[in-house]
Amino acid sequence: MRAAALRLGRWPATLRAPRGIELSQGQIVHLGMLLALAQWPLAPYVPPWIAISGVAFIALRFVFVFRERRRRSPATTPVPAWLLVLAAAALAFLIRRNYGYFVGRDPCVAFLFVLVGIKFLEVRTLRDGTLLVCLAIFLLVTPFFYSQSIAAALFALPAIAAVGAALDALADRDVKATFTSVRRAWRRTFVMIAQGLPIAATLFILFPRLASPLWGLPADRTAASGLSDSMSPGSISELSLSDAVAFRVDFDGAPPPPRLRYWRGPVLSLFNGREWRALSAQPGGRLLQGEAPLVRYSVTLEANDHPWLFALDFPATLPTIDAGGVRGNGGGLAGYSREQQLIMRAPVAQAIRYTLESLLVDEYPIASPREIPQNSRAPPGNPRTRDFVRRLRERNPDDRRFIAAVLRWFHDEPFFYTLAPPLLDEPEPVDMFLFDTRRGFCEHYASAFVVMLRDAGIPARVVTGYQGGEINPRGNYMIVRQSDAHAWAEAVIDGRWHRFDPTAAVAPSRIERGLYGSVPASDPVPLFAREDGSWLKGLQLAVDAINHQWRRHVIEFNRDRQRALWREWKIDAFAPWQMVTAVAAGVVGWALAVLLAFALRRKRRERAIALWDSACRRLARAGLPRLPYEGPLAFCKRAALRWPQFDIALRAIGESFAALRYGTAASRESERVALLATLERAIDALPRAARLRAL
């Protein structure tokens, strides 16, 4: 505590840290710029009040600095230390309240965000400055917890340049905080980063990645949009308003036709009259073997904060998972639940990529006889539906024919597929939907369909997931968005589950052409779910293709991809000692190359000196060495006295060299070039040393 207070406070002189070399105002301004640049990529990911207070602390110090500068008073720390300690404690408490826990990734990141602001408000000594630079550098990685997009990478760049400028400033007390000095420092930093690039790239490729995380912080909650494990009227239509990408798929070979693109998600068996819920997941799924067409594909799934992976109906292999982005030890194992849903041990907290194969069929055997009673219980109520089903069942005792009759009924009666159905707040929502409103979205049709089947004694359940997906022609992969979220049904006939999609009976175009082609034009369909070829959509597809490549080659460069690359480049054939030797040789080679580049650049820049040196050498060999104290003008004058026949050339040499080195004209590039040319021509006009000596 005392150490903390010493660092945070302005203690009486006797108690102050003896090594406290105070920072100048210029240094404080540079530090502040670094902190502000390190904060802002993170700002969207912390709660708004954290973002505002963190930035406000920095702004406040800037206000103080500019006031001091106007009054020409030295840098001070006007806010008392105890107040700042109190503020830090209060903010820690509020963060604890906001997140519900403190020891976790997100609250710690939020606290770091405000802490750098508070620390900056009282930064006083060089040592504080070093601490702040280190905190700011660390802050640079934190936005990547939340997004690793190209934009996130670009946003980090100014802060990286500012790291160099701030370190430069800490080394120089007299640093000015002007535009020119900042630009110069940034340029110097970028030069150094460019020189360090080979090292950085080598490390990126060669530094071994972890197979599994070393630690996992207590549950960090993220608010990802996506499917949930329950369904009530309106839940999927709400999701359909989102353009967000759920996952992307690379197919080996041709993608399946739209009507076979059923991406299976949570399976819902429990119904209370309004809401469908999933049974707790049981193991016991099985892999399908068969004759049907087999597709192999890789899914890059965005974080959904659920342990769900999506597979095409019906999976034939277990997935191979690429990513280490799974929280907790032992993550990375996935399996099928009894409902054939692909489930992971840990929630998908970061985008992951997995590869598997599926058989494109719409039926499969039941996993266990217990599934039949679990999926047969019809909810109470809805008398009109019950009555209608009884009459229909009497005419169609065969299960298949009954289901076909229901689907035909959906198709023939005036049912409408719409994103904006009327509210069903009656006590009998299924009755109201089937016989009164008749307007609904896929969840209404799936739910009513399953209720009708159960009333008829056919075991049935609701399956949620995604249906469809759009092929991005740039990059040839499929994008599945939240707006592709869908609900369909499964029923047991002769001991096998069969897939039925009542939505297809009402609006066949939903399955063939996606959401936009099937709902009324007045419905608020999200922009990128629309089918029209607007330039905006084309642009969006191009950007998405770039993002997809970025994802595949940069973000998901994990252990497996790294090993694959090593195999491809035959790096893994090396023994460790060979590796170490090669890396050491590489580092030495890099250092020599950079130093050589310096030397070459210097040579080019100092052509004037080289020319002058050659002239001096020639005159020295001719018997007239330049005296150590002699300037170019004096020396050339003396030489002109010795060789009066070359008076003009000698004087031109002296004058042009003096102008190049010491004149003001040389600051303009054109003048420089002209002077250099004069110097060169004048030297060419001199005869060789041997002839000069003879003259």
Partner 1 sequence: MAPADRAPVVLRHSRIYILPTRRGFAVIATLLLMLLTSLNYALSLGLAVTFLLGGLVAAALLHTFRNLAGIEVKPLAAGDAFAGDELVFTLSLAAGSLDRRAITIAANRAQTTTSVAAGVLATVPLAVRAERRGRFPLGRVTLSSAYPLALWRGFAYVHFPLTGVVYPAPEPSAPPLPAGDYGVDAQAQGRGDESDLAGLRDYQRGDPLQRVAWKAVARGAGWFSKAFEGTASGGPVTLEWARLPSELDTEARLSRLAAWVLAAERSARPFALSLPGSALPHAVDPEHRRAALTALALFPEKP
Q: Please select the residue that binds partner 1; options are 95, 116, 163, 430, rule is CB under 8 A.
A: 163
Active-site annotation holds for 486? yes
Q: Is 438 in the site for partner 1 (CB under 8 A)?
A: no
User: By CB under 8 A, is residue 168 in contact with partner 1?
Assistant: yes
Q: Nearest approach, Cβ of 275 to partner 1 (angstroms)?
A: 35
Kindly state the helix (H) or strand (E) to which residue 7 belongs, with its residue range.
helix 2-8
Q: Which is nearer to partner 1, 197 or 564 (CB)?
A: 197
Residues between 586 and 605 that touch partner 1 (CB under 8 A): 591, 594-595, 598, 602
| Choices 165-173, 297-305, 369-377, 460-468; region in contact with partner 1 by CB under 8 A | 165-173
Confirm if 375 and 489 have CB atoms less than 8 A apart: no
DSSP 309: -
- Asked if 315 contacts 358 with a C-beta cutoff of 8 angstroms, the reply is yes
Residue 350 interacting with partner 1 (CB under 8 A): yes
Compute the least distance from the CB of residue 580 to partner 1, in Å: 17
The footprint of partner 1 on residues 95-114 (CB under 8 A) is: 105
41 binds partner 1 (CB under 8 A): no
Catalytic residue list contains 442: yes
Residue 271 in tokens? 């119904």
465/654 with CB nearer partner 1: 654
Q: C-alpha distances in angstroms, 674 versus 601, 605, 667, 679?
A: 20, 15, 12, 9
- Report the distance separating Cα 258 and Cα 467, nearest Å: 8
Least separation in angstroms between residue 142's CB and partner 1 is 9
Rounded distance between C-alpha atoms, residue 174 and residue 167, angstroms: 13
Instruction: Report which DSSP code applies to 337.
Output: B
Site track 178-197 with partner 1 (rule: CB under 8 A), x = hit: ----------xx--xx-xxx
Is the CB of 404 or the CB of 594 nearer to partner 1?
Answer: 594
Residue 423 makes contact with partner 1 by CB under 8 A: no
- What does the per-residue mask of binding to partner 1 show for 619-638, with x meaning CB under 8 A? --------------------
Which residue stretch of 46-54, 211-219, 297-305, 441-449 sits at the interface with partner 1 (rule: CB under 8 A)? 211-219
Q: Is 283 in the site for partner 1 (CB under 8 A)?
A: no
Residue 32 CB, nearest approach to partner 1 (Å): 18
Q: Which stretch binds partner 1 (CB under 8 A): 156-164, 452-460, 649-657, 684-692?
A: 156-164
> How far is residue 284's CA from residue 63's CA, in Å, rounded to a whole number?
65
Residue 209 within binding range of partner 1, rule CB under 8 A: yes
Q: Nearest approach, Cβ of 203 to partner 1 (angstroms)?
A: 4
Q: Is 207 in the site for partner 1 (CB under 8 A)?
A: yes
**Which of 444, 501, 548, 636 is flagged as catalytic?**
501
Q: Which is nearer to partner 1, 142 or 382 (CB)?
A: 142
Q: In sequence order, which residues have a C-beta less than 8 Å from that of residue 95 and are 6 or more positions away?
A: 50, 102, 107, 110, 111, 114
- Whose Cβ is closer to partner 1: residue 533's or residue 628's? 628
Among 40, 64, 101, 557, binds partner 1 (CB under 8 A): 557
Residue 94 interacting with partner 1 (CB under 8 A):
no
**Closer Cβ to partner 1, 202 or 317, answer by number:** 202
Q: Is 21 in the site for partner 1 (CB under 8 A)?
A: no
Between CA 276 and CA 281, with CA 277 as vertex, the angle to 5 degrees is 150
- In the complex with partner 1, which residue's Cβ is closer, 236 or 348? 348
Answer whether 406's CB lies under 8 Å from 400's CB. Answer: no
Q: How far apart are CA 257 and CA 560, in angstroms?
A: 31
Q: Taking the alpha carbons of 387, 392, 395, 398 in that order, is the dihedral positive or negative?
A: negative
Residue 39 tokens read as 């904060």
Among 26, 226, 256, 324, the residue binding partner 1 under the rule CB under 8 A is 324
Cα four-point dihedral sign 147, 149, 151, 152: positive
315 — phi, psi (to 5°)? -65, 145
State the minimum distance, in angstroms, from the CB of residue 570 to partner 1: 23
Beta bridge mates, 271 = 276
Q: Which of 336, 282, 332 is nearest to 311 (CA)?
A: 336
Q: For the window 136-155, what string marks contact with partner 1 as x by the rule CB under 8 A? A: -xx-xx--xx--x---xx--
Q: Measured from the CB of residue 91, what is the shortest distance to partner 1 in angstroms?
A: 22
546 contributes a contact to partner 1 by CB under 8 A: no
Decide: is 328 part of the binding site for partner 1 (CB under 8 A).
Answer: no
Nearer to partner 1, 174 or 412 (CB): 174
Which residue's CB is nearer to partner 1, number 4 or number 372? 4
- Per CB under 8 A, the segment of 166-174, 283-291, 387-395, 455-463 that binds partner 1 is 166-174
Long-range contacts of 507-515 (CB under 8 A, 24+ apart): 507/417, 510/417, 510/442, 510/467, 511/258, 511/259, 511/467, 511/468, 512/258, 512/259, 513/258, 514/258, 514/468, 514/470, 514/484, 515/240, 515/419, 515/468, 515/483, 515/484
Question: Residue 208: which of 669, 571, 523 has the closest Cα?
Answer: 571
Q: What is the CA radius of gyration of the chain?
A: 37
Among residues 442, 455, 616, 636, the one annotated as catalytic is 442
- Exposure on the CB side of residue 185, measured as CA atoms within 13 A: 28
Residue 554 binding partner 1, by CB under 8 A: yes
Would you count residue 392 as binding partner 1 (CB under 8 A)? no
Please report the beta strands in 401-509, taking only residues with DSSP state E, as ranges in sequence order.
Answer: 416-417, 439-440, 460-467, 470-472, 477-481, 485-493, 496-500
Tokens representing 37 are 């640049």
Query: Which among 443, 279, 303 is positioned nearest to 367, based on CA atoms?
Result: 279
Q: Does 133 bind partner 1 (CB under 8 A)?
A: yes
- Residue closer to partner 1 by CB (options 210, 573) is 210
Question: Is the CB of 594 or the CB of 674 nearer to partner 1?
Answer: 594
What is the bridge-based pairing of β-strands 230-231 and 276-277?
antiparallel
Q: Catalytic positions, please?
A: 442, 486, 501
> Which residues here bind partner 1, judged by CB under 8 A?
105, 130-131, 133-134, 137-138, 140-141, 144-145, 148, 152-153, 156, 160, 163-164, 167-168, 170-172, 188-189, 192-193, 195-201, 203-204, 207, 209-210, 213-215, 323-325, 350, 554-558, 591, 594-595, 598, 602, 606, 609, 661
